Structure 1
Amino acid sequence: MISSTASPMVTGPPPVDTARVQRRTLRLLAGTQVIGGIGITIGIAVGGLLAARLGGVTVSGLAQSAAVVGGALLAVPVVGIMNRYGRRPGLALAYLVGAVGGVVVVVAAALGWVPLLFAGMLLFGGASTAGLQARYAAVDLAEPHRRGRQLSLVVWATTIGAVTAPNLAGLADQAGIEVGLTPLSGPFAFSTLAFLLAAGLVWLLLRPDPLLLARRLAAGPPAAVPGPDDGAPAAPTTTPGPAAPTTTPGPATPGPAVPPGRGLRAAFAVIAARPTARLGIAAVAVGHLVMVGVMAMTPVHLGYAHVGDDLLQVVGLVLSLHIAGMYAFAPVVGWLTDRAGRRPVILGGVGLLLAACAVAGTAGHDTLRLVIGLVLLGLGWSGTMVAGSTLLSESVPADVRPSVQGLSDLAMGLAGAAAGAVSGVIVGLGSFGVLTILAAVATVPLLALALRPAPAARPAGRPG
């Protein structure tokens, strides 16, 4: 009798050491963020210059725009794949799409065909989807009190690759020329290799899948009625790590009932019903719009004052410091978001964006002042991105959160794409200073939204 009643308790897989799995996951995600960040940032640094060489200044911004649109559009199918099959296939697919885009850009440069270049940049931008979604994968198995720090670790890891990459652009270009590639296309060949390496590492090593394991652990122990083993640990109470890793740091704001399902329609309904969610997604989108609009035209603006071999080196230095402003201080911004509140940090980010537009827009061709302006631009983006993403995530129910996060990435990408598309036209018809003025004006709606009185009932965790 004793053995027969005890036998169901010892069947199934052994308990999962979630703490150990989380450590492995963080190390892998941090490593692939470095590799992928190098590939993505080299393309950002060189894409506008290549488009300007092939099609002129007025279309140079479309290269950045196409990359941003590609990343935004790919977020939708990638989130759908992750919802069904986990993080691993979604991240690997995003990197592979970016690799295909790099090959297409190299071919387009050799043929001198501008439409093919934009098609390649559209695919190339898909790799940025992997970088954005990796920050969510970092917290699937994180304990509630460590989620912010562990997410910041993955965001910070992007700094290493992103800051290093622009300074490698010149070397990659020279290596490409030596093997017969068209000038300015060598960096994209290098990016392709980086994306393939990142995809391979994710596919081979992201096991067990953190999202699938988190769902399995959240489901709890098997029912008392004997039945087929569902793959859950036999003794979940001995498993170190969070008991329910999909719970939020704070309760969601009250609102109307959520439509059934996990698609974009449910995400739209949830965001529309919650003022804090609307502020969060607006902060992410507007901050990205301003950053992309100004940053995309900085290499072209520098090109008027620097010619010859030093152009890529100057562009690399300026963009490296700008990207350091975006990512290097993310843990500090996250700490301020928790201590001071989401809304004050969003307002601080807007203030930094306005200061960046003022400094960069009046710098002329003074490289030092442009550097200061671009660093301020990166810090402002970090404030609106970190605080806005935090506010958005904790303002919505857990069952629809992945779709809301995907919708946020889509809105952010489309906002950046719009800025990149018109930035070249504005600089071509006006000047870089005019572009910074219009970018500053674009922050006014976000400023008004953030200054509105907070809702009477706010969730715990100081989201407002």
Structure 2
Amino acid sequence: MTRPAPDTGTTGPIPGVPGAPGVPDAARAQRHILRVLVTSQLLSGAGLAAGVTVGALLAQKMLGSTSLAGLPSALFTAGSALTAVAVGRVSQTRGRRPGLAAGYLTGAVGSAGVITAAILDNPVLLFVALFVYGAGSATNLQARYAGADLAHPSHRARAVSTVLVATALGGVAGPNLAAPTGNLAARVGVPALAGPFLLSGAAYALAALVLAVRLRPDPLLTARALAETDPAGTATAGTPEGSAEGRGGVVLGALVMVLSQLVMVAIMTMTPVHLHDHGHGTAASGLVIALHIGAMYLPSPLTGRLVDRYGPLRIAAASGLTLLAAGLLAGIAPGDSVALLALALGLLGLGWNFGLVSGTAIINDTVPLATRATTQGVVDVSIAIAGATGGLSSGLVVAAAGYPVLALTGGILALAVLPAVAATARRTKSP
């Protein structure tokens, strides 16, 4: 008796997998899936970056204190932790499409809540809304895994990078729209600092719509279907579940991404506040954050090729060194030098990119399809917690010791990835 092919979101026989009705050709499906993901990431990138630009400033204005200016970042990264688990579980059981679409829609609801809180001048509602808004950030990161589900092992990092680079285009535009959206908000009776959340809400809602309508066939369900019809295929190969190598790979991949996120969020969160305290306006902060977001995502195609060619361990080590350089430069740069701070934030984004792409590649190479989405969700929880820790502690550190101390500490902390990579490399070479 022939076992029916799993539902991948398509109907009827599709060429490419003989004898498997309803299972699409992997290469053709992958091209379509990447196009849809790129479109959704263009939108969600703008939504993510817009909120990041003014979140700390909005909290500072409402609370009248710098020490809690890092709380918004901590809240929406904490919210992203909860969403990462939910998106991972929904994706594991029902596919990437419903998981990602629901995550972005939740982010849009959070954006509306932030706007309402700003109108009412209600800090409690602001913090609750920022927590919900974090769903968009988690979903934005989870989308990179969808890009790799159907990719050949030798091209997985490049597939991840294709999804990430799409986020850059929206991410660069988002912060630079902070001032115009603020002016628009003021004209309609909304506080100017809440203006970017008008953009983020609309962007997240549109991203959810694109995925709900167009992400067919579902990449994860299709990968499982192909694995069942062609068990000897390599497109979805991974390390056997439960092996020591698999567990070690998950730990290393998570560590690389956790350190990258912790250092990046901590320094990034307080840079707009640092600029504001030295007399610079929202436009200057928007420019610096735009360059930072661009550096986080635009190098992704190159990073993906480097990972596929030289292996993720070397690029993970490069992440730690680049983040160190960013922290050192941000720490010694004069507060009135927008150019030097922009360069430092650019290096910060590049180091994060190296860490995210290499860490994601390690996870994808070691986790089997049977548990892939769930494991990815759990890993992203640790990333979100690291971001929340960085965001919350950043304001406290700056209030107690100043921005330079925060930047230098973050750069030094990033070096912790080097011994972990070295230990893994030694185990890999051992007979």
Scaled by the length of structure 2, the TM-score of the pair is 0.89
Partner Cα distance (2:278, 2:415) in 1: 32
Partner Cα distance (2:66, 2:381) in 1: 27
Report matched runs for 1:307-346 at 5 Å. 307=280, 311-346=281-316
Question: How far does the alpha carbon of each residue in 1:19-76 deviate from its partner, in whole angstroms, 9 at most, with x for none?
Answer: 3332221111101100011011100001111011111211110101111111121110
- Confirm or deny that 1:362 pairs with 2:332: yes
Larger displacement relative to structure 2 (81-90 or 446-455): 446-455
- Confirm or deny that 1:418 pairs with 2:406: no
Partner Cα distance (1:315, 1:245) in 2: 43
Q: 2:120 aligns with which of 111, 114, 130?
A: 111
AA paired with 2:92?
Answer: N
The corresponding residue for 1:294 is 267
**Is the contact made by 1:162 and 1:323 (CA closer than 8 Å) also made in structure 2?**
yes
- Confirm or deny that 1:36 pairs with 2:44: yes
- Confirm or deny that 1:207 pairs with 2:216: yes
CA shift, 1:243, in A, is 5.0
The corresponding residue for 1:13 is 12
CA shift, 1:458, in A, is 6.0
Report matched runs for 1:152-301 at 5 Å. 152-220=161-229, 245-248=235-238, 251=239, 255=243, 271=247, 274=248, 276-301=249-274
**Is the contact made by 2:49 and 2:175 (CA closer than 8 Å) also made in structure 1?**
yes
AA paired with 1:165?
Answer: G
CA shift, 1:450, in A, is 2.4
1:321/1:256 CA distance change after superposition, 3 Å: closer
Aligned length, in residue pairs: 410
Normalized per residue, the structure richer in helix is 2
**Is the contact made by 1:34 and 1:159 (CA closer than 8 Å) also made in structure 2?**
yes
1:125/1:450 CA distance change after superposition, 3 Å: same
Q: 2:61 aligns with which of 46, 53, 73?
A: 53
**Is the contact made by 2:165 and 2:298 (CA closer than 8 Å) also made in structure 1?**
yes
1:167/1:299 CA distance change after superposition, 3 Å: same
Question: How far does the alpha carbon of each residue in 1:412-462 deviate from its partner, in whole angstroms, 9 at most, with x for none?
Answer: 110110010010111112210111122134224323322336344469xxx
AA paired with 2:421?
Answer: A
The corresponding residue for 2:354 is 383
The corresponding residue for 2:19 is none
Question: How far does the alpha carbon of each residue in 1:282-306 deviate from its partner, in whole angstroms, 9 at most, with x for none?
Answer: 1110111000000000000000123
The corresponding residue for 1:5 is none
Could you say what secondary structure the match of 1:52 adopts? helix
Larger displacement relative to structure 2 (204-213 or 357-366): 204-213
AA paired with 1:163?
Answer: V
**Is the contact made by 2:153 and 2:236 (CA closer than 8 Å) also made in structure 1?**
no
Gaps of 5+ in 1: 1-7, 222-235, 237-241, 258-269, 460-464
CA shift, 1:344, in A, is 2.0
Report matched runs for 1:119-134 at 5 Å. 119-134=128-143
Q: For the aligned residues, what is the CA RMSD? A: 2.3
**Is the contact made by 1:108 and 1:116 (CA closer than 8 Å) also made in structure 2?**
yes
1:149/1:402 CA distance change after superposition, 3 Å: same
Identity of aligned residues (%): 38
**Is the contact made by 1:353 and 1:380 (CA closer than 8 Å) also made in structure 2?**
yes
AA paired with 2:243?
Answer: G
The corresponding residue for 2:158 is 149
Q: 1:25 aligns with which of 30, 33, 38?
A: 33
**Is the contact made by 2:327 and 2:412 (CA closer than 8 Å) also made in structure 1?**
no
Could you say what secondary structure the match of 2:193 adopts? coil
CA shift, 1:183, in A, is 2.1
Could you say what secondary structure the match of 2:319 adopts? helix
**Is the contact made by 1:253 and 1:457 (CA closer than 8 Å) also made in structure 2?**
no
AA paired with 2:82?
Answer: L
Which of the two has higher C-alpha Rg?
1
Question: How far does the alpha carbon of each residue in 1:337-360 deviate from its partner, in whole angstroms, 9 at most, with x for none?
Answer: 233332222121111111111101
Could you say what secondary structure the match of 1:142 adopts? coil
CA shift, 1:396, in A, is 3.4
AA paired with 2:270?
Answer: M
CA shift, 1:199, in A, is 0.9
Structure 1 ranges of 4+ moved more than 6 A: none
Could you say what secondary structure the match of 1:347 adopts? helix
**Is the contact made by 2:118 and 2:126 (CA closer than 8 Å) also made in structure 1?**
yes
**Is the contact made by 1:106 and 1:189 (CA closer than 8 Å) also made in structure 2?**
yes
Partner Cα distance (1:255, 1:19) in 2: 29
CA shift, 1:212, in A, is 1.7
1:399/1:158 CA distance change after superposition, 3 Å: same
Could you say what secondary structure the match of 2:67 adopts? helix
Question: How far does the alpha carbon of each residue in 1:308-327 deviate from its partner, in whole angstroms, 9 at most, with x for none?
Answer: xxx12111111111112111
Gaps of 5+ in 2: 5-10, 15-23
The corresponding residue for 1:261 is none
CA shift, 1:400, in A, is 2.5
Could you say what secondary structure the match of 2:216 adopts? coil
**Is the contact made by 1:252 and 1:394 (CA closer than 8 Å) also made in structure 2?**
no
CA shift, 1:244, in A, is 5.9
- Confirm or deny that 1:135 pairs with 2:123: no
CA shift, 1:332, in A, is 1.3
AA paired with 1:298?
Answer: T
Partner Cα distance (1:336, 1:256) in 2: 26
Scaled by the length of structure 1, the TM-score of the pair is 0.83
